[in-house]
Structure 1
Amino acid sequence: MSVSTQNAITLKGSAAIIVEYLNYGINSILFQRGIYPPEQFTSVQQYGLTILMSKDDKIKVFLQKVLDQVQEWLARNEVEKVSMVITNVHTKEVLECWDFKVLNETSFGPKMDPDNPTSSKELKKIQAEIRDVMRQIAATISYLPLIEQICTFDVLIHTLKNSEVPEQWNETAEVRIQNAQTVQLKSFSTGLHKMSTIVNYKMTD
């Protein structure tokens, strides 16, 4: 059965879907983990869910800049994972690290054109898979340790070694959490990229 390219997802389209998920996912984590006061968030409807998004212009500009670059690298299959790191403002200790791992699926597809890979997976099905992950993110508050310290967050992008890095970006070391516990959330796939979400957190003493 042939699939018309009109309905196919391209690498750029797949990158856009993943970046959209990252934007909603990171905002949801910021709200669920209480990194900023609840009055700084506004509710939006996406994936058939109500998601809380930051109203803070600085956060919106920061995420836009980071995610635009992620999208560019994803479209070239140069991203291995994106990490959202939550850090104690005073001690600089990392309390949580959310890893969004990317698996390039373009080499696995049967009869996939290596120069122009496409996926025929329905957007509705992809969004249903993302909805399940977003529900899990919202449910993490029931088992992750309460964050009582004043915290900040950062986003790290793990790229291939030969990726071209913009001048204003800094290289950084791998994040480590002492006595870390790990929870694997559900994954979703666009047919070109598979994204797994994992949270690593510090056990309270």
Structure 2
Amino acid sequence: MSTAQKSKSKVKQAKAITLKGSTEIVTDFFKFAVNAILYHRNVYPTDDFQMVKKYGQVVLLTQDLGLEKYIETVLSQVKEWLNSGTITQLVIAIVARESKITLERWVFDINLTLPPQPTEENPEPAAIPPKPDAEIQAEIRAIIKQIISSNTFLPTLQEPTYFTVLAYTNDNPNSVTPEANTPALWIESDPMAIEQGKTQQVKLKSFDTKIHKIDAMVEYRHG
């Protein structure tokens, strides 16, 4: 007499993302988003960039050592602010080199969601449900694709430009000096807003790690 036995199979469960893990994802996204903006909006020469594979598609990274170091320095501070929950918005402003007029503002709103803290009634900390990495990457890929196609819906930049990074924190807005070969020094700044009545906005996709939600949009000067 034989006894039927159930076949054993391993059940795998996705790990809940941590604040540190979410910060790494968001920081990485900003790195590739900034590079995509600088390339596709012709802020830096196209020859300064190389193709790499990321998020299941080909993206571009700068080969300019000064610019690369500058972006790394900026994002190292952004990473600290993400970990501490103090950054609420990151803005990439594209400015006309001679007139100093802001032509575009790429705005990334940063919303932080943390699980409720343990209480006497509920001593066990609540866990944030996991989100598949493939789903997060698909959402990021959608934003990068919109940046890549931005030349189809944004005005052509007719003059030489540079870029500035603005970081809004819970305390006050800050900016970083725009020159790529200058060390990143965060100072208080005006928002580098586009003149009222001459601005249009295009809302972009968003992505959510379950801890950080990034809402994106670009506003540009017209007329």
Between the aligned partners of 1:103 and 1:138, the Cα distance in structure 2 is 24
In the alignment, what sits opposite 1:24?
32
Change (3 A) 1:200 1:34: same
Match of 1:125 among 135, 142, 149: 135
Match of 1:36 among 44, 47, 58: 44
SS at match of 2:84: coil
Shift of 1:115: 7.5
Shift of 1:169: 2.1
Shift of 1:73: 0.8
* 1:193-204 paired onto structure 2 within 5 Å: 193-203=212-222
Q: Is the 8 A contact 2:166 2:191 kept in 1?
A: no
In the alignment, what sits opposite 2:158?
148
TM-score between both structures, scaled by the size of structure 1: 0.88
Change (3 A) 1:116 1:147: farther
Between the aligned partners of 1:89 and 1:83, the Cα distance in structure 2 is 18
Match of 1:157 among 164, 167, 176: 167
Residue 19 (structure 2) pairs with residue 11 (structure 1): yes
Residue 194 (structure 2) pairs with residue 186 (structure 1): no
Shift of 1:106: 2.0
Between the aligned partners of 2:214 and 2:83, the Cα distance in structure 1 is 14
SS at match of 1:99: strand
TM-superposition CA deviations, 1:147-202 (whole Å, max 9, x none): 11110001111111189xxx942111122102110000010000001001110100
TM-superposition CA deviations, 1:67-102 (whole Å, max 9, x none): 111111111111110000100111111000100111
Aligned length: 197
Q: Is the 8 A contact 1:10 1:116 kept in 2?
A: no
List gaps (5 residues or longer) in structure 2: 1-11, 117-121, 174-183
In the alignment, what sits opposite 1:103?
111
Residue 79 (structure 2) pairs with residue 71 (structure 1): yes
Match of 2:186 among 152, 157, 169: 169
Between the aligned partners of 1:14 and 1:113, the Cα distance in structure 2 is 24
TM-score between both structures, scaled by the size of structure 2: 0.81
SS at match of 1:9: coil
Aligned AA for 1:192? I
Of structures 1 and 2, the one scoring higher in RCO (CA 8 A, sep 6+) is 1
SS at match of 2:187: coil
From the CA coordinates, give the structure whose radius of gyration is larger: 2
Between the aligned partners of 1:7 and 1:115, the Cα distance in structure 2 is 15
Q: Which runs of 4+ in 1 moved over 4 A?
A: 112-119
Change (3 A) 1:105 1:52: same
Aligned AA for 1:54? T
Percent of aligned pairs sharing the same letter:
32
Q: Is the 8 A contact 1:28 1:52 kept in 2?
A: yes
SS at match of 1:75: helix
Change (3 A) 1:119 1:66: farther
Shift of 1:114: 10
Aligned AA for 2:78? V
